[in-house]
A and B are shown apart, each in its own frame.
Chain A
């Protein structure tokens, strides 16, 4: 909300600097987000008078002017405007001033004025148009000021742009502060003063209003109070300058005196008002009721609104004339020919206004205030203030009496506040007298006071104060949050703390150590990306854009997006990982409850490019599936020892080919493979991408955290190498497993250290070379023992895999 410094000072008689207001209001919860000195925009601009005007010697369209700015010598200024003339009072930008709008710049960026030579003639300033000053659109000619303008006066002063405007963030609980009086009350509370309440005196004439108009409230549940006044003899014209200035400063466009006064009173007191042209009201009657069968209504902005039967409407003898508390209708609007008005000042039920405004997608200054809660006791005061002003400014007559339909008085609650409990919540040591003093400062009445308890009635405009905790907050606010101690309890009980590490931290440490860069993607994706894995994705009903429409069902598409992005920027050697939540629909789950959804944390790895970074003597080699497999094995071995298994997987329904499934302790944990070309093509990625996706949950439960020491070997090992040739279609794993079974328990490890296919291995065959390590726990193995084992291995492998021993 925009708050004028001058207006605030007028209401409070507190003469603080803008900085002090900013600081102190912010501390009590009215956050001043910025303050803007309006005069600053016109630094270096003054009122001048054109003393002489001559044609420019070298340019037909230009004039050379001598301008008096009240500083001794006149300034020579070259001017291009056709309307410049001797004797005119004009707005002059002096050298060094920042001109807000550059007419010659396509974007109109501001510029700093310098001394210049224009076609050979020196120019020491600029005579400005209203467009250049940022005041209006007129760029054709210069702005000619009023004859009475004082030469040499700062332009800001002349234009009455001397105020400071605060932008105050008002939280939803403080509708009472959506006005200058509301903010002034907080200032008075801080400064320990009283506000100067604006006069709301009205001189009434007969006949009484009740003989000229009638108000019937049918649905008083939604409209607990409706007050109105009738004003006659109105002339609708522009407002006086002071009123227009007040509105302009806080960003409200002046329209006509009636609308301006209602806006002014709303900005001053907070209460929204509405003026009807009384003579357009059928039967000169107001009926407040639900829309019922009325299906459509045209608001004064010309839009046709579809009504719901429960929306509260202000109607006349025939039909709707306003959306209650939101906007008036085109049919009863104030016009140039209006002479008699019915001024409305009502209290509408906040939730009703909010429901209607939301259903219609509307938000107005009035609805914003009503839905937060206005003061039900404030209707008549606002009405009188506005009526008084209209009478004063237009010479209109206020008819006698207020039409006030208020069947059931709304009373603020009497709230018990316990002294001990207040101190228990705040950690303070305040007495009953302190608390009473603080609460009176916010305008509350302390009805009863003992050492232990106060009974407090909040002011009617503080609709947010309904319970003890609300009053405790007020005590804290007035006392000052920074006067409350800052302490922590001695002896925190740590016994309940579970500092248990999650597998996610372990994965991160392991992967960053292995050279993987962590990425984070957005969980919301475009539909095509979400659909890549062929699973139905969860849709958001109200997406911000098609780019972010569905929740990810898997982690691979997001990783491919990251690969695409980095390839496009020339980074093709990538090792990326992400740990994130994926979202899937539960088969036959209820989507109206959380039972319909499954959230799961997954890890994704993505590799592209070279196996190792380029080095001076290293041949650049592209990484392949077995680099990926090696990384995964290292990761799994670190977490869950040897409890994992790789299984060749049907690639039809996956993004990868080949696809290898990872099984840990017999549970499917995820898969890895090379991304299919048809998929990388969709992402415009060139070259191979390898990905792996694993379930963090499965890894978590397979994680072997507690490990027992196993005695180190006491006897030396014996190493032997064996090279076999086998048919090239025999799988390595089959050969290795034949070796393992036949070597028996003394085989400590088996490692494939060489493999090749080619003429040396024989046609259609390949060579596999293994290093075998044997060890016995209880004695040193002899050569004879090992030789016997090796013979056994060779024989068995030959018969099992048709493997020939190579020399």
Chain B
């Protein structure tokens, strides 16, 4: 037994000379000092030593353990102080930096929306931001002199030309060009003539979507939006659909998901309702399909529209929409 102890000491001594890296140091520790290492094994063998010799062997074993431990400690101290082989390089010096860029939060969210909807078979289509009164309102079933127009405060350029208040006009533009099936999303910038506040800015982004084909139903609309929400917010979300009103869809619905900040108990962000409104939607109004010459006996369609900034603010817990357009790099670099 004592021989084995000496042998182990000698071996550890020569191993310790080669401890020049963190990896070899760890190997050393595992080999000798770990719970199943060589020294632990020797202690295990102590039981087999005759009782009379046990104090002497025990003492020798303890000495061995102390010696090996100090070999380890010294090697480690040397390495950490940079006094090993690599002593010439002070690795604690900082790396030379380079500039780091990132995409804007709004862009990133738009890209994520697009990725999910493209994977579900939607095309991406865009349209003009300067839009005619006809496409922005009339073709979407907002009659002149109807209070529904109060829902969207508008910037006018001339009497008949305006800054689009939603990306929904692109729906009409696609359908005018193309026969069903139509399956597309329409991301883009929109404008509202509202006083600037933490919750409202004159511009924001929307992602509208439309699907017109044979056999498109409200159930299908629910399926698509739930599938989106599961991909974007996580597969465990709870959701509900409730009645709403948009001139260009009927039946119209809002989809809510359980507030992910409070889990539905109610908090400041969800205005104590436990729910967050994420998307407005509905079945494309037959008048709109008829206006573009579709046969409403044959095809039906659904449409939806997300507000991108709203999604961004909620998801990142940002309390002022203006931060998104101040272009402060201290803000932008956080994402």
Residues of A within 8 A of B (CB): 22, 26-29, 31, 33-34, 171-174, 350-351, 354-355, 371-372, 424-428, 467, 469-470, 472-473, 476-477, 481-482, 484-489, 492-494, 496-499, 505, 508, 511-524, 538-545, 548, 551, 561-562, 565-566, 569, 571, 573-577, 581, 583, 591-594, 596-597, 599, 612-618
Q: What is B's interface to A at a CB cutoff of 8 Å?
A: 93-94, 96-104, 106-107, 111, 118, 120-124, 128-132, 143-148, 150-151, 155-161, 163, 181, 183, 189, 191, 193-196, 201-203, 215, 217-220, 222-224, 226-227, 240-245, 250-254, 271-273, 283, 285-286, 300, 324-330, 332-333
Flag if A492 contacts B250 (CB, 8 Å): no
Contact indicator A540/B129 (Cβ below 8 Å) = no
Q: How close is B165's CB to chain A, nearest CB, in angstroms?
A: 13
Contact partner of A518 (CB less than 8 A), chosen from B101, B217, B253, B273, is B101
The answer to whether B156 and A594 touch across the interface, beta carbons within 8 angstroms, is no
Are B271 and A515 in contact (CB-based, < 8 A)?
Answer: no
Name the distance in Å between A131's Cβ and chain B's nearest Cβ: 29
Query: Is B194's CB under 8 angstroms from A484's CB?
Result: no
Q: Is the CB of B250 within 8 A of A542?
A: no
CB closest residue in chain B, given A470: B250
User: What residues on A are CB-neighbors of B159 within 8 Å?
Assistant: 592
**Can you list 9 A-B pairs, Cβ within 8 angstroms, ordered by A?**
A29-B243, A351-B146, A354-B147, A425-B218, A524-B202, A541-B155, A544-B193, A551-B163, A612-B96
Whether the Cβ atoms of B218 and A487 lie closer than 8 Å is no
B334 to chain A, nearest CB (A): 11
Are A517 and B219 also in contact (CB < 8 A) when A539-B157, A544-B194 are? no
- Residues of the B chain whose Cβ atoms lie less than 8 Å from the Cβ of A22: 273
Flag if B130 contacts A426 (CB, 8 Å): no
List the count of A-B residue pairs having beta carbons below 8 Å apart.
260
Q: Is the CB of B158 within 8 A of A592?
A: yes
Partner of B245, one of A173, A350, A499: A173
What is the minimal beta-carbon distance from B4 to any residue of chain A, in angstroms?
52
The answer, among B158, B195, B203, B327, for a CB contact under 8 Å with A524, is: B203
Q: For A354, give its contact among B128, B145, B151 (CB under 8 Å).
A: B145
Q: A427-B220, A569-B328, A594-B161 are in contact. List 19 more A-B contacts (CB 8 A).
A: A27-B240, A31-B254, A354-B146, A424-B217, A487-B219, A487-B220, A497-B118, A517-B332, A523-B129, A539-B157, A541-B156, A548-B202, A574-B329, A576-B327, A577-B101, A583-B130, A593-B160, A594-B132, A599-B129
The 6 lowest CB-CB distance pairs between A and B, nearest first, are A427-B219, A427-B217, A515-B99, A29-B243, A171-B245, A488-B223
Chain B residue at minimum C-beta to C-beta distance from A580: B189
A520 in contact with B325 (CB, 8 Å):
yes
The chain B residue sitting closest to A476, CB to CB, is B251
Closest residue of chain B to A488 (Cβ to Cβ) is B223
How distant is the Cα of A473 from the Cα of B102 in the complex, in angstroms?
A: 45
Return the chain A residue nearest B240 by Cβ: A482
Contact B251 A472 (CB under 8 A): yes
Residue of A nearest to B163 (CB): A540
Chain A residues whose CB sits within 8 angstroms of the CB of B100 once the complex forms:
515
Q: Which of B158, B191, B241 contacts A541 (CB 8 A)?
A: B158
Q: Which of A498, A561, A615 contacts B123 (CB 8 A)?
A: A498
* Residues in B neighbouring A581, C-beta threshold 8 A: 129, 189
Give the one of B101, B189, B325 with max A CB within 10 A.
B101
Partner of A517, one of B101, B120, B181, B217: B101
Q: Is the CB of B145 within 8 A of A477?
A: no
Bound CA span A516–B330, Å: 14
Which of A355, A485, A522, A576 gathers most chain B CB within 10 Å? A522
- Please name all residues of chain A whose beta carbon is closer than 8 Å to the beta carbon of B330 when the two chains form the complex: 569, 571
- Residues in A with CB closer than 8 Å to B129 are 523, 581, 583, 599
- Give Cα A173 to B144, complex, Å: 15
Q: Report whether A591 and B147 are in contact in the complex, using a CB–CB cutoff of 8 Å.
A: no
**Of listed A173, A494, A614, residue having the most chain B CB within 10 A:** A173
Please indicate the chain B residues that have their CB under 8 angstroms from the CB of A593 in the complex.
Answer: 132, 160-161
Contact A492 B251 (CB under 8 A): no
Contacts of B104 in A (CB 8 A): 518-520
> Which of the residues A171, A485, A596 comes within 8 Å of B244, measured between beta carbons?
A171
If A426-B218, A496-B181 touch, does A615 touch B271 (CB 8 Å cutoff)?
no
Kindly list chain B residues whose C-beta atoms are within 8 Å of the C-beta of A513. 101
Tell me how far the C-beta of B273 lies from the nearest C-beta in chain A, rounded to whole angstroms.
Answer: 8
Q: A427-B220, A517-B102, A544-B202 are in contact. Are A28 and B243 (CB under 8 A)?
A: yes
Shortest Cβ distance from residue B5 to the other chain A in the assembled complex, whole angstroms = 50
Contact B251 A615 (CB under 8 A): no
Measured CB to CB, the nearest residue on chain B to A511 is: B101
Q: List the A side residues contacting B161 at CB < 8 Å.
A: 591-594, 596-597
How far, in whole Å, are A541 and B157 apart by their CA atoms in the complex? 5
Shortest beta-carbon distance from A557 to chain B in Å:
13
Report whether A543 and B155 are in contact in the complex, using a CB–CB cutoff of 8 Å.
Answer: yes
Bound CA–CA A492/B211 (angstroms):
11
A481 to B111, CA, bound (A): 30
**Contacting pair B283 A425 (CB below 8 A):** yes
A22 to B121, CA, bound (A): 38
- With A472-B251, A599-B129 already in contact, the answer to whether A565 and B98 are too (CB < 8 A) is no
Q: CB within 8 A of A477: which of B160, B181, B251?
A: B251
User: Which residues on A sit within 8 Å (CB–CB) of B150?
Assistant: 172
A493 touches B121 (CB 8 A): yes
Contact of A484 among B93, B195, B218, B326 (CB under 8 A): B218
- Chain B contacts of A541 at CB under 8 A? 155-158
Residue of B whose beta carbon sits closest to that of A559: B327
Question: In the complex the two chains form, what is the Cα distance from A485 to B219 in whole Å?
Answer: 5
Residue of A nearest to B332 (CB): A517
Across-interface contacts of A522 in B (CB, < 8 A): 201-203, 325
Cα distance A516–B240 in the bound complex, in angstroms:
41
